[in-house]
Amino acid sequence: MCGIAGVMNADPKQPVDPETLVAMAAIQYHRGPDGFGYRVEKGRGVGFSHARLTIIDLDENRGRQPFVSHDGNLMLAVNGELYDYKRIRTELTSRGHKFRTKSDSEIVLHLYERLGLEETLKHMRGEFGVALYDRAHDRLMLIRDRFGVKPLYWTEVNGRIVFGSEIKVLFAHPDVPRRFNAKGLYHQLMQTVVPGTTAFDGIHQVKPGHVVTIERRHGKFEIRDDRYWDMDFPLLEERGEPEDDEVYIEAVRRELMQAVQLRLEADVPVACYLSGGIDSCITLGLSAANQQSPVKAFTIGFDNADYDETAIATEMAESVGADQDVMRLNADHLYDNLVETLWHAERTIYNTLGVAKLLMSRHVNKAGYRVVVTGEGSDELFAGYPAFRRDMFLHGLDTMDRAERASWEQLLSESNKLFSGAMLAENELNDPALNDLVGFTPSCLQPWLATAAHVPGLMSKDMRAQVEGYEPGRAIAEALDGDMIEGRHPLDKAQYVWIKTMLEGQILTWGGDRVDMANSMEARPPFLDHHLAELATKIPPSMRIRGRTEKYVLRESMKGLLPKVLYEREKFAFMAPPAHTDPKKWAAMKALADQYLSDEAIEAAGLLDPAGVKALFELHDAEDTTASTQVQLDAVINHMIGVQVLHSHFVAQDVPALARAKAKELGWTAAA
């Protein structure tokens, strides 16, 4: 895992400044502290840079990127890991290809030379953000992995394309404006982001499973955005009669075992994240079976018993002989580190779990590990969240009578009351645009759409005027591909929407890559292997949720691996305690609010309305405000603090100067 950056000028005769490229690498030093590289294509107005985290091919000079093909036609920079690379490299070598490195990244050059882009993408298995320049076609390709595990951003400004692994990398270029977008601000305050967008004007994400291709024509850019993969569930009429249960159980076992085994490949030690959920317990169990020596397992323990899963995690660690390391967190630790977390997340966060994971990645790094295997993606593939059960029961069980359906709703409400207001909406909400697209408003979006009612009153007069009449649900619906939703089972629809919104925009950003790579620590999620995902689309809904049991097929496939208490346990979403649940945590949050939500701070940023902010705190503290509403308002308060912190980090601060100062501190220079 690394960080990439680059520039392409519309005028090929306009040179790219090497020192700017180096500064763009330096500001993402946390992604790649083991060295940097840069290259400028003379006479072509193109330049890449790279900050390297050494995991495969430890030779400092041999693995330095950007890579260039033997004939000089191709230039490549990669952030991420490509699995099965040894087999691919062996096959290509047998066909006459000469490799200069042992890096997994180099296979992209040779595959592209031999097969072209479309076929190369089929061989790229893993998590990655890739920049590839083809000199012969004067073409820049920005490629992101299928689920968006790795970030990749781009912008077009003043006749140039600027791209990088993080938004701050783009802001390190002096030509890139740093200002909030009104609609982006709206979504930061309500949590759910429109796919492909950011909080900032003109800053785009390469969407998961997409390639953004930029070609120059007569001094102008032609930009094309193409999808090469999607979570394609079968149409209802394509499903036919289901196979015997054992067929699906065996298939999941086979694909998951291979996905985990591939992700243990590294030239450095590999550890595991371990919570009390079955997902991380499965990855630990399979990792332990694959390795000769005991696996290191890292666990976060919270001081709130309602949210702490340490006991179950320890039972799993002991059952497989893992060496468990438990990092205990007190409530007031989390807000103490929120400002730093937001520098890395580059978006607001509703729950301080992101802070907890940043502290954990730091702990893992200090323990001498750079790679961990994680459990992210299991709930998305196998329908593990409370929202999926609600949608299944309400919209997916046509044979269920009203009385039985009501009893299932009651069961769901009782078993998941801890997450009401965050994981589930307190009251049913229907959005017209999402109803039109999906047939119902997915439960996963309802809490955040409910939160959106508070947002206009929180925005400054100028920002509010720019979003008058704005419908956030419609914006999200219009960003989704209706062809991937139409004609599918309701559970398939719910999972697809979650994958495109909550997974990419939340779990894999401030809950994943951004807080892991903040401490140069690579997280590998085997459940998001696309071979396993393609199998999961074919599994009947009744094998994903059977009665009151979610992730049924996964549980059955790993039944022999899991302790009885885990096999039988209902889903428990891993999250940090909300602020209002602990006096110390509430006091720590209030201290941040006093700093960032003072009238002076609000006026300086120009994003929020002081009266609206005060009114929201008063609503939170009102005697008749329910606990579920307090959970929801805790999230909004986090978002308000968050946008103010983001402004201080990326708008008020001179980011280009900061990047150059970092390069100077590191001794990274174009003259080196």
Closest Cα partner for 282 from 307, 257, 311? 257
DSSP letter (8 states) at residue 393: I
- Secondary structure element (H or E) that encloses residue 82, with its range: strand 74-82
Q: Is 300 annotated as a binding residue?
A: yes
Distance, CA of 430 to CA of 438 (rounded, Å): 11
Cβ proximity of 609 and 461 under 8 Å: yes
Q: How far is CA 127 from CA 143, 148, 208, in A?
A: 11, 8, 10
Distance, CA of 120 to CA of 271 (rounded, Å): 30
Closest Cα partner for 547 from 379, 396, 380, 381? 396
Residues of 383-414 as b/e, b for ≥16 C-beta within 10 angstroms? bbbbbbbbbbbbbbbeeeeeeeeeebeeebee
Closest Cα partner for 565 from 312, 384, 300, 385? 312
List the beta bridge partners of residue 126: 82
Distance, CA of 299 to CA of 275 (rounded, Å): 6
Q: Catalytic residue among 2, 272, 281, 444, which?
A: 2
SS3 150: coil
List the beta bridge partners of residue 9: 160
Distance, CA of 629 to CA of 265 (rounded, Å): 45
Number of alpha carbons in the 13 Å side-chain half-sphere of residue 518: 27
Distance, CA of 252 to CA of 526 (rounded, Å): 12
SS3 206: coil
Q: Name, in order, each residue with C-beta under 8 angstroms of 531's C-beta and a sequence gap of 6 or more.
A: 125, 255, 258, 259
Torsion of the alpha carbons at 199, 203, 206 and 212, rounded to the nearest 10: 160
Which amino acid, 320? Answer: V
Residues in the chain: 672
Q: Is 230 annotated as a binding residue?
A: no
Please, is 215 exposed, middle or buried when counting C-beta atoms within 10 Å of its C-beta (0-12, 13-18, 19+)?
Answer: middle
Provide the token pair at 80.
């991420």
Which amino acid, 332? Answer: D
Task: Phi first, then psi: give them for residue 140, nearest 5 degrees.
Answer: -105, 130
Distance, CA of 632 to CA of 191 (rounded, Å): 11
Distance, CA of 304 to CA of 582 (rounded, Å): 8
Q: Name, in order, each residue with C-beta under 8 angstroms of 661's C-beta and a sequence gap of 6 or more.
A: none
Distance, CA of 535 to CA of 251 (rounded, Å): 8
Residue corresponding to tokens 């009449």: 469
Distance, CA of 14 to CA of 627 (rounded, Å): 59
SS3 459: strand
Q: Name, in order, each residue with C-beta under 8 angstroms of 437's C-beta and a sequence gap of 6 or more.
A: 477, 480, 482, 485
- 2 as an active site residue: the answer is yes
Binding site residue list for ATP: 300
Binding site residue list: 104, 300
Binding site residue list for L-glutamine: 104
**Catalytic residue list:** 2
